[in-house]
């Protein structure tokens, strides 16, 4: 396979991944922002196979409890997880729709920006390299 095509494909994937993470970490349109508390972490393990070797990977997703404007508590578990669990009792910003508090999302924090920037830099770097190799 052509090297520039591989670099271009990786570049597109990295750029799209960073934009997707960014879009799902922003406040909901028409949403209310409140502070939630991490009440526990959900652990997920998976096995990565690379040829004859296998490696176990564990990630953690925070379960965040927040209270809506009516005083009703809700729990939110994001679809994205990371390698380091956030401390139970720590706080996170949450955006939710007043008409549907069950539709909520965690807002970007300092740990969210690392993969956004990493994917964007790698993606744009590969796109530039693909054009240069061509």
pLDDT the model gives residue 122? 85
The Cα–Cα gap between 68 and 97 comes to: 9
Question: Is a pLDDT exceeding 80 seen at residue 18?
Answer: no
Report the predicted TM-score, pTM, of the whole model to 2 decimal places: 0.70
Beta-bridge mates of residue 74: 66
3-state secondary structure of 113: helix
* pLDDT at 95 (0 to 100): 95
Of residues 111 and 62, more confidently modeled: 62
pLDDT band at 1 (very low <50, low <70, confident <90, very high): low
User: Closest Cα to residue 74, out of 51, 97, 54, 43?
Assistant: 97
CATH placement of domain 27-106: 2.40.50
Own/partner long-range contacts of 24-29 (Cβ < 8 Å, ≥24 apart): 24/79, 24/80, 24/105, 25/105, 25/106, 25/107, 25/108, 25/112, 25/116, 26/95, 26/107, 26/108, 27/95, 27/107, 28/95, 28/96, 28/97, 28/103, 28/104, 28/105
- Section 26-55 average pLDDT: 89
Q: Is the pLDDT of residue 33 over 90?
A: yes
One-character DSSP codes across 6-75? HHHHHHHHHHHHHHHHHHTTSPPTT-EEEEEEEEEEEEEEEEEEETTEEEEEEEEEEEEEEE-TTS-EEE
Question: Any idea which residue has 């693909």 for tokens?
Answer: 130
């Amino acid at each position: 396979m052509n090297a520039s095509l591989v670099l271009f494909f990786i570049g597109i994937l990295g750029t799209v991944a960073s934009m997707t993470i960014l879009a799902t970490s922003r406040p909901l349109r028409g949403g209310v922002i409140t502070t939630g508390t991490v009440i526990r972490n959900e652990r997920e393990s998976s096995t990565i196979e690379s040829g004859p070797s296998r490696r176990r990977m564990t990630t953690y997703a925070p379960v965040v409890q927040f209270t809506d404007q009516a005083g009703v508590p809700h729990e939110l578990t994001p679809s994205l997880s990371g390698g380091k669990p956030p401390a139970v009792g720590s706080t996170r910003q949450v955006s939710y729709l007043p008409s549907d508090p069950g539709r909520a999302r965690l807002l970007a924090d300092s740990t969210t920006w690392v993969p956004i920037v990493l994917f964007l830099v790698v993606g744009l770097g590969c796109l530039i390299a693909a054009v240069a190799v061509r």
